[in-house]
Structure 1
Amino acid sequence: MTARTQYSFRSGGVEVSGVLQKVTRQLKPLGDGFLKNVLPALIIGGLFILIWEWMTAAPGAALPSPSKVVSDTWELIVNPFYNHGGTDVGMGWQILASLERVAYGYSLAVVAGISLGVLVGQSTWAMRGLDPIFQILRTVPPLAWLPISLAAFQDSNPSAIFVIFITAIWPIIINTSVGIRNIPEDYRNVSRVLSLNGYEYFVKIMLPAAAPYIFTGLRIGIGLSWLAIVAAEMLIGGVGIGFFIWDAWNASMISDIVLALVYVGVVGFLLDRMIGFISVLVTRGTSAQ
């Protein structure tokens, strides 16, 4: 073997080693994140399933075991988007129908809640006049609004959307108003020095400063919205994950209920994480400015 060939082998080995080290450095944060965040949840979840299986394995158990839930609901799991007409549709369509109602009601609550929160936070007169009303109305349970909304709208779908709206709006109003009232006085002084008009002050000072408070309200609101729609759909009927759960109860299909609860929990978790992710992007962008 010539010296040139040996040198090329060595240099090639050095290049491959460098690439491997670079890839290892890039993958190390992923591995650390898996060990810190994902692995503990997997271990605890696995232990929970084992304990559940052990406690429900005896014949005649009141609740089905995880293995029985999977076997009983396998068709729902592998074919979530079947459509046999009417309310006989797959779990995927049921969840999408619920999410559609949540999207409408929650969007209305975001617009109205942030607007009212800014008004209450900016105006002492508005706070003294509206805050007692808000504090009274927000203590009314969400489902207590359903008969009123059914009487007003004469239809189940807008009634469910109204229940979502009236459930989600209160934490958004309260957190937004707190954020506005806690804007540092230095920020207000800077706006006066720069002679910012109302729109510029709202966009450049008010919203960035109050963003962490606003997104706290938004995260609470989306969780309450998902809770409320499941409960409301049990009463209004039609297509939706809440009605699916109630219909499964009437048919004594407990395994279907368990599967639906798992889906409800996963969707609620993803909704919360989605708002949290947007919050991180917005607040980081604000701080970068």
Structure 2
Amino acid sequence: MTTLVHDAIGATEKLTTAEISNGTSASAVTAVTATSTVAAVTAGAVANTAAPVKQVQRSFRPLLLKVLPPLFGIALMVLIWSIIAVKDSSFPSPWVTLQEAIKVFSDPFYQNGPNDQGIGWNIYASLKRVAVGFGLAAVVGIPLGFLIGRFSFLSGMFNPVISLLKPVSPLAWLPIGLLVFKSAHPAAIWSIFICSIWPMVINTAIGVQRVPQDYMNVARVLNLSEWKIVTRILLPSVLPYMLTGVRLAIGTAWLVIVAAEMLTGGVGIGFWVWDEWNNLNVPHIIIAIIVIGLVGLILEQILVAAARAFTYEDTGA
């Protein structure tokens, strides 16, 4: 804007000098001067108006880049879903599924007997099983990971066992649970426990083993007790690794409970999916798939937020 004003004033001064030297009347010079001043002020006003617009565009650009890609992804998924529904009349369309979802969630906590309950009760039952199995795995797995990472003898003793049992499918442990506990509910919890414990043990042990040796040397010089070494040195350093293991474990636990409930029956989102399949209610199956994905996403995001809250990164200062 300043440049435009200076240019206008300069042009006016040159014109005024020329006109006076040629004997032009003062009124003509005044008119030219006024016209140039108005043009300069108008250009400045336009520049002042464009600046906030550009600033608003810059502020909204990160938001658009964050929001638009997921929306396009969801739109693409719905489009593919609609094409499949058009090609196969037995597959429900997104609109039909949405109408059924409105009916399902209009009363999610109804009860018409032990095997006929709303989707809300089924999600609640599955979350309870996951909480118990996952909690037991954390109570056992995290301390065991500390011990394996801290003592080389225990590492050599447990590493072959972990390497042998970790690749086993969680559902392969379900018959063992049914044999030992004689009931489907504890057997499902057992399956969650056995599949959730390995990520916690392995990640915690790796975190302990990667603690800088200088920290341990200082602890040895200061003659710190084992408890202080764990609480003051190991725990803060291992926390990011431990939370990573917890994140992996919760995803696996939620994955396993759906499959386990399909086999054991009772109340639960997995049993609800299997029951709807037996009734050939495909829209309800799709609703359950979406709900399972959303619940798993929420659980993972909660743990991601916890990891960010308790993880301290080097800022390079």
* Bin for the TM-score computed over the shorter chain: 0.7 to 0.9
Which of 289, 296, 314 is residue 268 of structure 1 equivalent to? 296
Q: Aligned ranges for residues 87-102 of structure 1 at < 5 Å?
A: 87-102=115-130
CA distance in 1, matches of 2:181, 2:152: 34
1:5 is matched with: none
Which residue identity is paired with 2:178?
A: L
Which of 84, 100, 103 is residue 72 of structure 1 equivalent to? 100
Q: Could you tell me whether the CA contact under 8 Å between 2:84 and 2:91 is conserved in 1? A: no
Deviations 1:116-160 (A, max 9, x none): 111110111111111101111111110111111011111111111
Which residue identity is paired with 2:143?
A: S
Which residue identity is paired with 1:218?
A: V
2:222 is matched with: 194
1:8 is matched with: none
CA distance in 2, matches of 1:269, 1:84: 30
Q: Aligned ranges for residues 1-289 of structure 1 at < 5 Å?
A: 34-58=63-87, 60-284=88-312
TM-fit CA distance, 1:285: 9.2
CA distance in 2, matches of 1:265, 1:80: 18
Deviates more, 1:82-91 or 1:239-248: 82-91
Cα separation, partners in 2 of 1:33 and 1:97, compared to 1, 3 Å: farther
TM-fit CA distance, 1:61: 2.3
CA distance in 2, matches of 1:123, 1:248: 51
TM-score by length of 2: 0.77
Deviations 1:246-269 (A, max 9, x none): 011111011100000000000111
TM-fit CA distance, 1:286: 10
Unaligned runs of 5+ in 1: 1-20
CA distance in 2, matches of 1:77, 1:242: 17
TM-fit CA distance, 1:220: 0.7
CA distance in 1, matches of 2:232, 2:226: 10
Max radius of gyration: which structure?
A: 2
Deviations 1:218-251 (A, max 9, x none): 1110000000000000011000000000011111
Q: Which runs of 4+ in 1 moved over 3 A?
A: 31-34, 284-287
1:9 is matched with: none
TM-fit CA distance, 1:39: 2.6
TM-fit CA distance, 1:57: 2.6
Which residue identity is paired with 2:302?
A: M
Which residue identity is paired with 2:236?
A: P
CA distance in 1, matches of 2:245, 2:311: 14
CA distance in 2, matches of 1:286, 1:84: 56
Q: Could you tell me whether the CA contact under 8 Å between 1:208 and 1:286 is conserved in 2? A: no
2:20 is matched with: none
Deviates more, 1:266-275 or 1:71-80: 71-80
Which residue identity is paired with 2:131?
A: A
Which residue identity is paired with 2:179?
A: A
TM-fit CA distance, 1:32: 5.8
CA distance in 2, matches of 1:216, 1:32: 32
- Percent identity over the alignment is 41
Q: Could you tell me whether the CA contact under 8 Å between 2:122 and 2:272 is conserved in 1? A: yes
CA distance in 2, matches of 1:158, 1:267: 22
CA distance in 2, matches of 1:40, 1:78: 31
